[in-house]
A and B are shown apart, each in its own frame.
Chain A
Amino acid sequence: MKLEVGLFAGLKCNNPELPCYGEREFSLEVPDGTTIGELRALLAIDPAIPLLTMVNSHHEHEDWVLKENDRVGMFPPIGGG
Protein backbone atom coordinates (compact mmCIF):
# COMPACT_ATOMS: atom_id res chain seq x y z
CA MET A 1 0.00 0.00 0.00
CA LYS A 2 1.05 3.58 -0.58
CA LEU A 3 1.58 6.18 2.16
CA GLU A 4 2.19 9.93 1.98
CA VAL A 5 4.90 10.68 4.54
CA GLY A 6 6.03 14.04 5.93
CA LEU A 7 9.00 14.23 8.29
CA PHE A 8 9.43 17.49 10.21
CA ALA A 9 11.95 19.50 12.22
CA GLY A 10 15.12 17.85 10.96
CA LEU A 11 13.84 14.27 10.55
CA LYS A 12 14.55 12.50 7.26
CA CYS A 13 14.47 9.02 5.75
CA ASN A 14 17.75 7.40 6.84
CA ASN A 15 17.39 4.05 5.03
CA PRO A 16 19.76 3.98 2.01
CA GLU A 17 17.82 1.00 0.59
CA LEU A 18 14.73 3.14 0.04
CA PRO A 19 14.06 5.56 -2.85
CA CYS A 20 13.14 8.24 -0.27
CA TYR A 21 16.64 8.15 1.28
CA GLY A 22 17.54 11.62 2.58
CA GLU A 23 14.08 13.03 1.79
CA ARG A 24 11.54 14.67 4.10
CA GLU A 25 8.32 14.48 2.06
CA PHE A 26 7.63 11.49 -0.12
CA SER A 27 5.26 8.70 -1.16
CA LEU A 28 6.31 5.26 0.01
CA GLU A 29 5.12 1.73 -0.84
CA VAL A 30 4.93 -0.45 2.33
CA PRO A 31 3.42 -3.89 3.14
CA ASP A 32 -0.29 -3.93 4.07
CA GLY A 33 -0.80 -3.78 7.84
CA THR A 34 2.34 -1.74 8.55
CA THR A 35 2.15 0.03 11.93
CA ILE A 36 3.53 3.45 12.80
CA GLY A 37 6.34 1.74 14.75
CA GLU A 38 7.21 -0.44 11.77
CA LEU A 39 7.21 2.57 9.46
CA ARG A 40 9.66 4.51 11.66
CA ALA A 41 11.90 1.42 11.82
CA LEU A 42 11.74 1.10 8.01
CA LEU A 43 12.77 4.77 7.70
CA ALA A 44 15.66 4.04 10.10
CA ILE A 45 14.75 6.90 12.45
CA ASP A 46 16.71 6.61 15.71
CA PRO A 47 14.36 4.59 17.99
CA ALA A 48 15.53 6.60 21.02
CA ILE A 49 13.92 9.79 19.68
CA PRO A 50 10.36 10.20 20.97
CA LEU A 51 8.05 11.11 18.08
CA LEU A 52 4.64 12.69 17.79
CA THR A 53 2.90 10.94 14.89
CA MET A 54 -0.15 12.28 13.08
CA VAL A 55 -2.22 10.08 10.78
CA ASN A 56 -4.67 12.10 8.65
CA SER A 57 -4.53 14.88 11.27
CA HIS A 58 -5.11 12.56 14.25
CA HIS A 59 -2.51 11.89 16.94
CA GLU A 60 -1.86 8.11 17.02
CA HIS A 61 0.50 5.80 18.92
CA GLU A 62 3.20 3.42 17.61
CA ASP A 63 0.98 0.32 17.43
CA TRP A 64 -1.54 2.05 15.14
CA VAL A 65 -2.09 0.13 11.87
CA LEU A 66 -1.78 2.29 8.76
CA LYS A 67 -4.03 2.11 5.70
CA GLU A 68 -3.68 2.77 1.96
CA ASN A 69 -3.21 6.49 1.17
CA ASP A 70 -2.82 7.53 4.82
CA ARG A 71 -1.00 10.83 5.32
CA VAL A 72 1.57 10.33 8.07
CA GLY A 73 3.41 13.21 9.74
CA MET A 74 6.20 12.66 12.26
CA PHE A 75 7.45 15.39 14.62
CA PRO A 76 10.40 15.09 17.03
CA PRO A 77 10.68 17.32 20.11
CA ILE A 78 12.63 20.56 19.53
CA GLY A 79 15.09 21.41 22.28
CA GLY A 80 16.53 24.80 21.36
CA GLY A 81 15.61 28.14 22.79
Chain B
Amino acid sequence: MFTEDQIERYSRHIILKEVGGKGQKKLLDGRVMIIGAGGLGSPIALYLAAAGVGTIGIADADVVDLSNLQRQIAHHTKDIGVPKVLSAKEKMEAMNPDVRVNVYHDWVSAANIHGIIKEYDFVIDGTDNFAAKFLINDACVLAGKPYSHGGILQFDGQTITVVPGESPCYRCIFPVPPPKDAIPTCSGAGVIGVLPGVLGTIQATEAIKYLLGKGELLAGRLLTYNALRMRFREVPIRKNPSCPICGESPTITELKDELDALNVCDMPQAKG
Protein backbone atom coordinates (compact mmCIF):
# COMPACT_ATOMS: atom_id res chain seq x y z
CA MET B 1 0.00 0.00 0.00
CA PHE B 2 2.96 2.36 0.51
CA THR B 3 5.46 3.15 -2.20
CA GLU B 4 9.15 2.77 -1.38
CA ASP B 5 9.46 6.53 -1.22
CA GLN B 6 6.58 6.72 1.24
CA ILE B 7 8.13 4.07 3.49
CA GLU B 8 11.33 6.11 3.50
CA ARG B 9 9.57 9.49 3.89
CA TYR B 10 7.43 8.37 6.82
CA SER B 11 9.95 5.95 8.36
CA ARG B 12 10.34 7.97 11.59
CA HIS B 13 6.57 7.88 12.01
CA ILE B 14 6.23 4.23 11.10
CA ILE B 15 8.74 3.10 13.75
CA LEU B 16 6.67 4.79 16.47
CA LYS B 17 4.40 2.17 18.01
CA GLU B 18 1.63 4.79 18.35
CA VAL B 19 1.75 5.40 14.59
CA GLY B 20 3.09 2.44 12.63
CA GLY B 21 2.00 1.68 9.08
CA LYS B 22 -1.65 1.67 10.15
CA GLY B 23 -1.41 5.11 11.70
CA GLN B 24 0.41 6.55 8.71
CA LYS B 25 -2.38 5.19 6.51
CA LYS B 26 -4.88 6.98 8.76
CA LEU B 27 -2.95 10.23 8.30
CA LEU B 28 -2.84 9.77 4.52
CA ASP B 29 -6.60 9.10 4.54
CA GLY B 30 -7.19 12.00 6.95
CA ARG B 31 -8.88 15.29 6.08
CA VAL B 32 -8.11 18.45 8.08
CA MET B 33 -9.51 21.94 7.47
CA ILE B 34 -7.34 24.92 8.50
CA ILE B 35 -9.19 28.24 8.74
CA GLY B 36 -6.69 31.09 8.53
CA ALA B 37 -3.40 30.93 6.59
CA GLY B 38 -1.49 33.44 8.72
CA GLY B 39 0.60 33.12 11.89
CA LEU B 40 -1.06 30.00 13.32
CA GLY B 41 -2.09 28.61 9.94
CA SER B 42 1.49 28.60 8.58
CA PRO B 43 3.10 26.08 10.96
CA ILE B 44 -0.13 24.07 11.08
CA ALA B 45 -0.23 23.77 7.28
CA LEU B 46 3.47 22.97 6.93
CA TYR B 47 3.59 20.34 9.68
CA LEU B 48 0.38 18.62 8.59
CA ALA B 49 1.70 18.48 5.03
CA ALA B 50 5.05 17.13 6.22
CA ALA B 51 3.26 14.50 8.31
CA GLY B 52 1.39 13.26 5.26
CA VAL B 53 -2.16 14.28 6.15
CA GLY B 54 -3.67 13.37 2.81
CA THR B 55 -6.26 16.11 2.31
CA ILE B 56 -5.81 19.55 3.81
CA GLY B 57 -8.22 22.43 3.28
CA ILE B 58 -7.07 25.97 3.89
CA ALA B 59 -9.30 29.08 3.94
CA ASP B 60 -8.28 32.75 3.98
CA ALA B 61 -9.27 35.75 1.84
CA ASP B 62 -6.14 37.76 2.59
CA VAL B 63 -3.04 38.35 0.49
CA VAL B 64 0.54 38.22 1.80
CA ASP B 65 1.80 41.53 3.19
CA LEU B 66 5.42 42.44 4.04
CA SER B 67 4.43 42.87 7.72
CA ASN B 68 3.25 39.22 7.84
CA LEU B 69 6.66 37.71 7.14
CA GLN B 70 8.10 38.10 10.66
CA ARG B 71 5.86 35.20 11.76
CA GLN B 72 3.84 33.69 8.88
CA ILE B 73 6.48 31.20 7.82
CA ALA B 74 4.54 29.60 4.97
CA HIS B 75 4.95 32.86 3.05
CA HIS B 76 8.19 34.12 1.54
CA THR B 77 9.29 37.56 0.40
CA LYS B 78 8.49 36.69 -3.22
CA ASP B 79 4.85 35.98 -2.21
CA ILE B 80 3.95 39.56 -1.25
CA GLY B 81 0.61 40.35 -2.90
CA VAL B 82 -0.20 36.66 -3.54
CA PRO B 83 -3.33 35.13 -1.90
CA LYS B 84 -2.17 33.43 1.31
CA VAL B 85 -4.00 30.22 0.45
CA LEU B 86 -2.08 29.90 -2.86
CA SER B 87 1.24 30.76 -1.24
CA ALA B 88 0.64 28.14 1.49
CA LYS B 89 -0.53 25.50 -1.02
CA GLU B 90 2.67 25.96 -3.06
CA LYS B 91 4.90 25.31 -0.01
CA MET B 92 2.83 22.37 1.20
CA GLU B 93 2.87 20.62 -2.18
CA ALA B 94 6.59 21.31 -2.60
CA MET B 95 7.20 19.77 0.82
CA ASN B 96 5.12 16.67 0.21
CA PRO B 97 3.56 15.61 -3.11
CA ASP B 98 1.35 13.07 -1.27
CA VAL B 99 -0.82 15.90 0.04
CA ARG B 100 -3.86 17.27 -1.74
CA VAL B 101 -4.53 20.91 -0.77
CA ASN B 102 -7.99 22.42 -1.26
CA VAL B 103 -8.00 26.20 -1.12
CA TYR B 104 -10.90 28.47 -0.17
CA HIS B 105 -9.98 32.06 -1.04
CA ASP B 106 -12.69 33.56 1.17
CA TRP B 107 -13.49 34.72 4.72
CA VAL B 108 -15.64 32.25 6.61
CA SER B 109 -19.19 33.42 7.28
CA ALA B 110 -22.43 31.98 8.58
CA ALA B 111 -23.42 31.47 4.93
CA ASN B 112 -20.39 29.45 3.79
CA ILE B 113 -18.74 27.81 6.81
CA HIS B 114 -20.82 24.65 6.95
CA GLY B 115 -20.00 23.87 3.34
CA ILE B 116 -16.31 24.51 4.01
CA ILE B 117 -15.96 22.22 7.06
CA LYS B 118 -18.43 19.43 6.33
CA GLU B 119 -16.10 17.19 4.28
CA TYR B 120 -13.31 17.25 6.89
CA ASP B 121 -12.55 15.06 9.92
CA PHE B 122 -11.05 17.82 12.07
CA VAL B 123 -11.03 21.62 11.92
CA ILE B 124 -8.34 24.02 13.12
CA ASP B 125 -9.02 27.66 13.99
CA GLY B 126 -6.05 29.79 13.02
CA THR B 127 -8.05 32.99 12.50
CA ASP B 128 -7.23 36.44 13.84
CA ASN B 129 -10.60 37.80 14.97
CA PHE B 130 -13.34 36.96 17.45
CA ALA B 131 -16.12 36.96 14.86
CA ALA B 132 -14.46 34.03 13.08
CA LYS B 133 -13.45 32.28 16.31
CA PHE B 134 -17.01 32.24 17.66
CA LEU B 135 -18.44 31.29 14.27
CA ILE B 136 -16.02 28.34 13.97
CA ASN B 137 -16.99 27.17 17.46
CA ASP B 138 -20.69 27.39 16.67
CA ALA B 139 -20.38 25.71 13.28
CA CYS B 140 -18.28 22.86 14.70
CA VAL B 141 -20.60 22.33 17.69
CA LEU B 142 -23.70 22.28 15.47
CA ALA B 143 -22.03 19.94 12.97
CA GLY B 144 -20.54 17.72 15.72
CA LYS B 145 -17.08 18.37 14.27
CA PRO B 146 -14.05 18.23 16.58
CA TYR B 147 -11.78 21.24 16.35
CA SER B 148 -8.78 23.02 17.86
CA HIS B 149 -9.14 26.62 18.98
CA GLY B 150 -6.04 28.81 19.12
CA GLY B 151 -5.46 32.48 19.88
CA ILE B 152 -2.31 34.58 20.15
CA LEU B 153 -1.47 38.17 21.05
CA GLN B 154 1.78 39.88 22.03
CA PHE B 155 3.49 37.19 24.19
CA ASP B 156 0.36 35.23 25.17
CA GLY B 157 -1.43 32.28 23.64
CA GLN B 158 -4.38 30.02 24.44
CA THR B 159 -5.51 26.75 22.94
CA ILE B 160 -8.20 24.17 23.65
CA THR B 161 -9.60 21.22 21.73
CA VAL B 162 -13.38 20.90 21.50
CA VAL B 163 -15.06 17.54 20.97
CA PRO B 164 -18.74 18.46 20.61
CA GLY B 165 -21.06 16.43 22.82
CA GLU B 166 -18.15 15.28 24.99
CA SER B 167 -16.10 18.26 26.10
CA PRO B 168 -16.72 21.94 26.89
CA CYS B 169 -16.79 24.32 23.94
CA TYR B 170 -15.32 27.82 23.57
CA ARG B 171 -18.63 29.41 24.58
CA CYS B 172 -18.65 27.32 27.80
CA ILE B 173 -15.64 29.47 28.76
CA PHE B 174 -16.51 32.73 27.00
CA PRO B 175 -20.27 32.81 26.29
CA VAL B 176 -20.16 35.92 24.08
CA PRO B 177 -17.43 37.64 22.11
CA PRO B 178 -15.98 40.85 23.50
CA PRO B 179 -17.26 43.91 21.62
CA LYS B 180 -14.98 45.20 18.91
CA ASP B 181 -12.04 47.27 20.17
CA ALA B 182 -12.47 45.98 23.78
CA ILE B 183 -9.42 43.75 23.29
CA PRO B 184 -6.64 44.47 20.84
CA THR B 185 -6.35 41.67 18.30
CA CYS B 186 -4.15 42.92 15.50
CA SER B 187 -1.40 45.12 14.19
CA GLY B 188 -1.67 47.72 16.94
CA ALA B 189 -0.77 45.38 19.81
CA GLY B 190 2.01 43.35 18.18
CA VAL B 191 2.93 39.69 18.40
CA ILE B 192 6.32 38.07 18.96
CA GLY B 193 7.08 36.13 15.78
CA VAL B 194 7.79 32.74 17.35
CA LEU B 195 4.50 32.68 19.29
CA PRO B 196 2.31 31.21 16.51
CA GLY B 197 4.97 28.53 16.03
CA VAL B 198 4.50 27.36 19.63
CA LEU B 199 0.69 27.44 19.56
CA GLY B 200 0.26 26.30 15.95
CA THR B 201 2.39 23.19 16.40
CA ILE B 202 0.30 22.27 19.45
CA GLN B 203 -2.85 22.62 17.33
CA ALA B 204 -1.34 20.51 14.54
CA THR B 205 -0.38 17.88 17.14
CA GLU B 206 -4.02 17.68 18.25
CA ALA B 207 -5.18 17.10 14.66
CA ILE B 208 -2.60 14.33 14.18
CA LYS B 209 -3.54 12.65 17.49
CA TYR B 210 -7.22 12.86 16.57
CA LEU B 211 -6.59 11.19 13.20
CA LEU B 212 -4.43 8.51 14.82
CA GLY B 213 -6.89 7.97 17.67
CA LYS B 214 -3.98 8.01 20.11
CA GLY B 215 -3.21 9.83 23.33
CA GLU B 216 -5.32 12.38 25.18
CA LEU B 217 -6.70 15.45 23.46
CA LEU B 218 -6.50 18.91 25.03
CA ALA B 219 -10.23 18.73 25.78
CA GLY B 220 -11.73 20.10 28.99
CA ARG B 221 -8.58 22.10 29.72
CA LEU B 222 -7.49 25.43 28.33
CA LEU B 223 -3.73 25.63 27.85
CA THR B 224 -2.35 29.13 28.29
CA TYR B 225 1.18 30.16 27.39
CA ASN B 226 3.22 33.24 28.21
CA ALA B 227 6.44 33.48 26.22
CA LEU B 228 8.03 36.26 28.32
CA ARG B 229 7.85 34.18 31.49
CA MET B 230 8.09 30.90 29.58
CA ARG B 231 5.16 29.53 31.50
CA PHE B 232 2.40 27.14 30.48
CA ARG B 233 -0.75 26.88 32.60
CA GLU B 234 -3.48 24.32 32.27
CA VAL B 235 -6.90 25.56 33.32
CA PRO B 236 -9.48 22.80 33.86
CA ILE B 237 -12.80 23.75 32.26
CA ARG B 238 -16.22 22.27 32.98
CA LYS B 239 -19.12 22.14 30.56
CA ASN B 240 -21.30 25.13 31.28
CA PRO B 241 -24.98 24.10 31.70
CA SER B 242 -25.99 27.62 30.60
CA CYS B 243 -23.67 27.62 27.55
CA PRO B 244 -25.62 29.38 24.77
CA ILE B 245 -24.78 26.65 22.23
CA CYS B 246 -24.02 23.36 24.01
CA GLY B 247 -25.82 23.94 27.32
CA GLU B 248 -29.13 22.54 28.56
CA SER B 249 -31.33 25.07 26.75
CA PRO B 250 -29.29 26.54 23.92
CA THR B 251 -30.23 29.94 22.53
CA ILE B 252 -28.03 29.55 19.45
CA THR B 253 -29.64 27.00 17.16
CA GLU B 254 -28.47 28.30 13.81
CA LEU B 255 -25.35 30.10 12.62
CA LYS B 256 -25.15 33.84 12.55
CA ASP B 257 -22.28 36.26 12.04
CA GLU B 258 -21.09 38.12 15.16
CA LEU B 259 -20.95 41.45 13.36
CA ASP B 260 -20.26 43.46 16.51
CA ALA B 261 -17.11 41.41 17.08
CA LEU B 262 -15.66 42.05 13.63
CA ASN B 263 -12.23 43.46 13.94
CA VAL B 264 -11.74 46.56 11.85
CA CYS B 265 -8.09 45.67 11.41
CA ASP B 266 -9.20 42.90 9.06
CA MET B 267 -10.75 45.40 6.71
CA PRO B 268 -8.39 46.38 3.90
CA GLN B 269 -9.09 50.11 4.30
CA ALA B 270 -8.03 49.98 7.97
CA LYS B 271 -4.57 48.63 7.17
CA GLY B 272 -2.01 51.09 8.43
Contacts and interface: CB of A to CB of B under 8 A. Distances in A.
B235 A80 contact: no
Contact of B184 (A10, A52, A59): A10
Contacts of B186: 80
A36 to B, nearest CB: 14
Nearest to B158: A78
Interface of B: 36, 38-41, 125-130, 133, 150-154, 156-158, 173-179, 182-186, 189, 191, 196, 222, 224, 226, 233, 235-238, 263
Interface of A: 8-10, 46, 48-50, 52, 54, 57-59, 73, 75-81
Contact of B224 (A49, A58, A75): A75
Given A48-B182, A59-B235, A79-B130, A10 B174 contact: no
Contacts of B238: 59
A50 B176 CA distance: 7
B183 A10 contact: yes
Contacts of B185: 79-80
A49 B181 CA distance: 10
A76 B233 CA distance: 14
Contacts of A57: 236
